[in-house]
Amino acid sequence: MENRRLALIAVIGVILFTLYKLWQTDYPDVASAPPPPPPTEVQQLGAPAVAAGTAAAMAQAGTAGAAAVPVSGRITVTTDRVVAQISPVGGDLVRLELTDYPQDMKDPSVKFALLNDQDGRYFILESGLAGASSSESIADTRAIYQSPQPDYHLLDGQDAVDVPLSYSSPSGYVVHKLFRFHRGSYSIDLSQTLENHSGHELQASPFTQFVRTPSNGKEPPFVGSFTGVGIYEQKADPANYRFVTYTFKKLDDTSYSHPQTGGWIAMLQHYFIAAVIPKTDEALVFNGSKGAGQTYIAQAVGQKLVSVADGQQQTFVTSLYIGPKEQKSLDAIAPGMNLTQNYGLWTPISAVLFKILSFFHGITGNWGWSIVLLTVSVKLSFFKLSEAQYRSTAKMRKFTPRIQELRERYAGDREKLNKATMELYKKEGFNPLAGCWPLLIQMPIFFGLYRVLIESVELRQAPFVLWLNDLSAADPYFVLPVLYGISMWAQQRLSGQSATMDPAQQKVMNIMPIGLTGLFLFFPVGLVLYWLISNLIGIAQQWIITRRIERDAAAAKR
């Protein structure tokens, strides 16, 4: 009975896990074709209209201003953390590579580009100044900016590097943009200044927006991380905020528009985030919507038009964060930013596990050895429960002849067999469920650690030893899953579980190591490592406890 329950728990666990992953994935966003051109026009929700130009519209606007940088060229910015490209057309941030994060481990020299308008992808930052209507736009994404130089580098001893751009309107006003990139940071300051020399009053409202297509990349099996728009939304009580998310699938059917003060809006994806973070006292409208073609938009736009008299100027400032979801830094970026760390339902457990892993990582400097130490800690914490499990298993073997006798007596009546078996357990004071508790208690740790491994950017491409160079990916040679299957088979044989089973149960238990090995072929290395080490420690514990029980039994007979 105990073994049947153990088998049933394991099978139910696998089924629940599979159903959980199917539910969590929830319509993955995959663009199978190259993205379309940028949308011809993005209508602001609850705000003045702003144009987001196509290539044709950009060419039509190319006569505005004599650019020191060619229109077809790009301004390159290099810091210790990023390599960015800014287009003179619109002054848009069109590419941003994270130099500490390779695209994949096959070629570490190719860095991951979070913003990118190449390679079949489209994810850029647009910004500008809207007017009272689309026909009165001050500086939309078709404006042609100039810059004093084509390349900017963060030099030794500098804390930041500034990238100035300017657009001179035929109407007599000038718009200055300034991107400030900081040392050791993925935060970027963006200021837009309107100098009015038009001879009349102008009205302007700043906008900043991310425009992107769904990711073209295919994630590994059993990885269903969230991709979409996240908003730190002000509630009815102005002092309170909440974190809300919209998948791209949801934005196909509905748009989001919310006026508020402070907060932030972002595009979220696996491991990384791109956020617009206005000043805490700034009144804006946050918009999330479906754009033209396959594009989606996350936008912050000023609630009110600001009047700028002739001869005066007005500066609009906002902050950006475009980088990894490093958990030690999220709280410092903006209030509520830590909520973007998507552990889902398992957040209470996953957050604790990550802190423990971080502690061990501070000692070992290796996330793989940190998982090993975590596994040892878990097994030591559950030592007494494991001892009860192994004692239960040993006692079960003592009942094998009597259970076999009951099976022969009630061979044709399953109900009577079960009743007689339970009466035997009750008479002998044996609880067949005692051995299930260690497995049941470890299931939340299993799910919690799984979320840590697939969601924590700190473990992305984290190496362990030898060929295991990415704890968040599957073992490329399947060595660890096979070792896990062997350890599970050895543990079953050491426990002598099959001796108390009928032929049908024995077949299930014999198949389980093979079935779970097949499933673990696609699991992150770190998770398989946890279960392999757990099994090896369990085998050692079981051998020691079984020998102790046998020694005590032999001593009692003397």
Q: What is the pLDDT of residue 231?
A: 96
Sort strands 151-153 and 75-78 into parallel, antiparallel or unpaired.
parallel
d(CA 438, CA 13): 14
pLDDT tens, residue order, the chain (558 aa)? 444 444 444 444 554 544 444 444 443 333 333 333 433 333 333 333 333 332 322 233 233 333 345 445 899 999 999 999 999 999 999 999 999 999 887 888 899 999 999 878 899 999 999 987 766 788 888 899 999 999 999 999 999 999 999 999 999 999 999 999 999 999 999 999 999 999 999 999 999 999 999 875 555 555 567 889 999 999 988 889 999 999 999 999 999 999 999 999 999 998 999 999 999 999 999 999 999 888 999 999 999 999 999 999 999 999 999 999 999 999 899 999 999 988 888 888 999 999 999 999 999 999 999 999 998 988 888 777 777 666 666 666 666 677 777 777 777 777 877 788 777 777 766 666 655 666 677 788 888 888 888 888 998 888 998 899 888 888 889 999 999 888 888 877 776 555 555 566 667 667 777 887 887 888 888 889 988 998 898 888 878 877 777 777 677 666
* Full-model pTM: 0.79
Main-chain dihedrals φ then ψ at residue 522, nearest 5 degrees = -105, 0
**Which residues have a Cβ under 8 Å from the Cβ of 74 and sit 6 or more positions away?**
85, 86, 87, 88, 94, 95, 150
pLDDT at 44: 37
Residue 387 falls in which region: left (phi positive, over 0), alpha (psi -120 to 50) or beta: alpha
Check if the beta carbon of residue 17 is closer than 8 Å to that of residue 447: yes
Phi, psi of 148 (to 5 degrees): -60, -25
E-state strands within 104-235:
111-115, 123-130, 151-153, 160-168, 174-182, 187-195, 202-212, 228-234
Parallel/antiparallel/unpaired status of strands 241-247 and 228-234: antiparallel
The answer to whether the CB of 316 falls within 8 A of the CB of 355 is no
Give dist(CA 7, CA 378) in Å, integer.
Answer: 22
Write down the pLDDT at residue 501: 57
pLDDT at position 455 = 87
The secondary structure of 288-340 as a DSSP string is EEE-STT-EEEEEEESS-EEE-TT-EEEEEEEEEEEE--TTTHHHHSTTGGGG
- In angstroms, what CA-CA distances link 264 with 91, 232, 302, 328, 457? 22, 5, 13, 19, 21
- DSSP state, residue 136: G
Query: Which phi and psi angles does 176 have, rounded to 5°?
Result: -105, 130
Evaluate whether 453 touches 357 at the Cβ level (below 8 Å).
no
Q: Which helix (H) or strand (E) holds 450?
A: helix 437-455
Q: How far apart are CA 506 and CA 483, in angstroms?
A: 21
pLDDT score of 428 = 66
Query: Are 431 and 392 within 8 A, CB to CB?
Result: yes
Burial string for 274-291 (b: 16+ CB within 10 Å, else e) reads: bbbbbeeebebbbbbbbb
Distance, in Å, from the CA atom of 295 to the CA atom of 318, rounded to the nearest integer, reads 23
CA angle 90, 93, 94 (to 5 degrees): 100
What is the pLDDT, as a whole number, of residue 497? Answer: 56
Structural domains of the chain in order of their starting residue, each with its CATH number: 2-21+349-557 (no CATH), 31-213+277-319 (2.70.98.90)
Distance CA 12, CA 213 (A): 38
Using DSSP bridges, classify how beta strands 82-87 and 313-324 pair: parallel, antiparallel or unpaired. Answer: unpaired
Query: If 0-12 CB within 10 Å is exposed, 13-18 middle and 19+ buried, where does residue 480 land?
Result: buried
CA-CA distance, 542 to 490, in Å (whole number)?
A: 11
